[in-house]
Amino acid sequence: MRPPYPKLLEIAQRSASANSQDVLQTLVLAAAELTGSQFASILLPDSEGGTLSFAASLPAHSKALEGVAVPVESSIAGWVLRHGQAMFVHNAQEEARIYREIEQQLGMFTLNLAAAPLMFDGKTLGVLETLNKLDGNYQHEDLQILEVLAAYAAVHIHNQRLNTENAHLHQQFEKLERMKRDFIAIASHELRTPLGLVLGHATFLREIVEDPDAQQQVQAIIRSSLRLKEIVEVLSKMDNYQTGMALIRNRAIALDELANEIIQSYAEQTRRKNLSVAFDVQSQPVELMVEGDPDKIAVAVNNVFQNAVTFTDENGTIQVTLKKIPGYVRLTVQDSGIGIPENDLERIFERFYQVESHMTRRHGGMGLGLSVAKAMIEMHGGRIWAESTPGEGSTFTIMLPALAA
Ligand code: ADP
C-alpha cells in the first residue's frame, strides 16, 4: 500500500479551502487510490431514510448511479449507516447483505468491500464505501484510511448544511428587515394625514370652545396629538436615514455650544428631579469643532442626554465631558442612573429595543432614540457606544471626526 500521508495532507488542505464544491469527489478518489480499490462512493440517506443515494462516486460511474437508491435494510451501506461502525467483507459473493442490483449498474461483481460511517457529533450522516481491492483483501489499515476520509466528508457535509441553513436564515432576516422598513414607511406616511386633521380641528375648537371643562379636554387632545406627531416624525426620519434619503448639510459646528444648548433645554426637567448636571469642557473651543449637519448631530446628542435624564433617579448626577483627542472630538454623557445590563449594551442601539419590556417599563419612549442617534453619528463617520454598571450608572460616548484645521 502507498503511504497515505501526502495524499491525506493534500485532502486536509483541500477540504479547508473555500471552494469546496468537489470535496466529496476528491475524498472518493482518494479512498479508491489509497486502498487500491476498483470503486468508491459516498452514500447519503434520502429524506425519508429508507434508502441511500450516491452523493459522489468515481467519475466513470457517476452517470450510471444517478437516481439509484440503495435500500437501508438490505445493503452493507445501510448496515454501516444504522450501526455507525466501519466494516469489511472479504468474500462478497457469500455475503447476503450485498445489494446486487448495483452490480448491474456498475457492470462489475463485488469481490470484497470496505465501508466506514460519516460520523458527526455521534450521528451517522452517510457512508464511504470501497469495492474490490485489487491486490488481496481489505485490512484494518484500509478501514483506518476510510475512517479518516469519512470524518472529513462528515465535517464537510455538516458545514454545507450549516451554510444552507445560514443562507436561509439570512434571507429570512432580510425579508423581515424589509417588512419592518416598509411597515414603518407606510404607517408613518398613512398616519400623517388624519393626524394633521385631528390637530387642525382641535386647534379650531380650542378657539371657539368657552366652557373650561371642554377647553381642558380639547387641550388634552392637542397635547396627545402633538406627541403622536412627534412619534410619526421620528419614524419617518428613521426611514429616511435607513434608505439613505436624508440630506446632510455640512457646516462647521462648535460642539461645545451645541451640547450646552441641549443641556440648557433640559433645565426645567433636571431641576424637577433635582439632578446635578456638570458640563466639563476639557479642550479649547477651536479644538472642539466638527463638520456636519448640526440638526442631525443635535438630535443624536439630545437623545443621549434625554436618556440620561430619563433613566437617572431623583438627586442623581449627570456629567457631560468634551475633549479633543487625536483626529476626533469625544463627547461623553455619564449618569448615575439605573444602568444597563451587559447583554443589552449593544442591542439598545437597535430599533425598537428597550431593556425593560413595554409591559413592565416605567418610562415612555419607543426604543428609537439611540438607533436614530447611531444612524446620525455614523453618517458623519463617527462612533457611538455605551458602557455601564447596572445600578450605578451608564456612560455614553460619541466620537466625531474633528474638523480639519
Ligand atoms: P427610548 O426612547 O425607549 O428610551 P432609546 O433607543 O433611546 O429608546 O433607548 C433604548 C433603551 O436603552 C431604553 O429604553 C433604556 O432601556 C436603555 N437606555 C438608554 N439610555 C439609558 C441610560 N442612560 N440609562 C439606562 N438605560 C438606558
316 close to ligand 1 (CB < 6 Angstrom): no
Residue nearest to atom 12 of ligand 1 (CA): 348
- pLDDT value of position 51: 95
Residue 338 Cα: closest atom of ligand 1? 25
Nine cell digits for residue 5: 500521508
394 close to ligand 1 (CB < 6 Angstrom): yes
What's the 270 CA to ligand 1 centre distance in angstroms?
17
User: In which residue ranges of the chain is pLDDT below 50?
Assistant: none
| Contacts within 8 Å (CB) and 24+ apart, 256-261 | 256/281, 256/285, 256/288, 256/322, 258/294, 258/297, 258/298, 258/301, 259/301, 259/320, 259/322, 259/331, 261/298
113 close to ligand 1 (CB < 6 Angstrom): no
202 close to ligand 1 (CB < 6 Angstrom): no
- pLDDT value of position 362: 64
User: Euclidean distance between the first and final Cα of the chain, in Å?
Assistant: 74
Mutate to test the pocket of ligand 1, among 307, 347, 374 (most ligand atoms within 8 A of CB): 307
- pLDDT value of position 278: 97
- pLDDT value of position 242: 64
Mutate to test the pocket of ligand 1, among 311, 332, 359 (most ligand atoms within 8 A of CB): 311
What's the 228 CA to ligand 1 centre distance in angstroms?
19
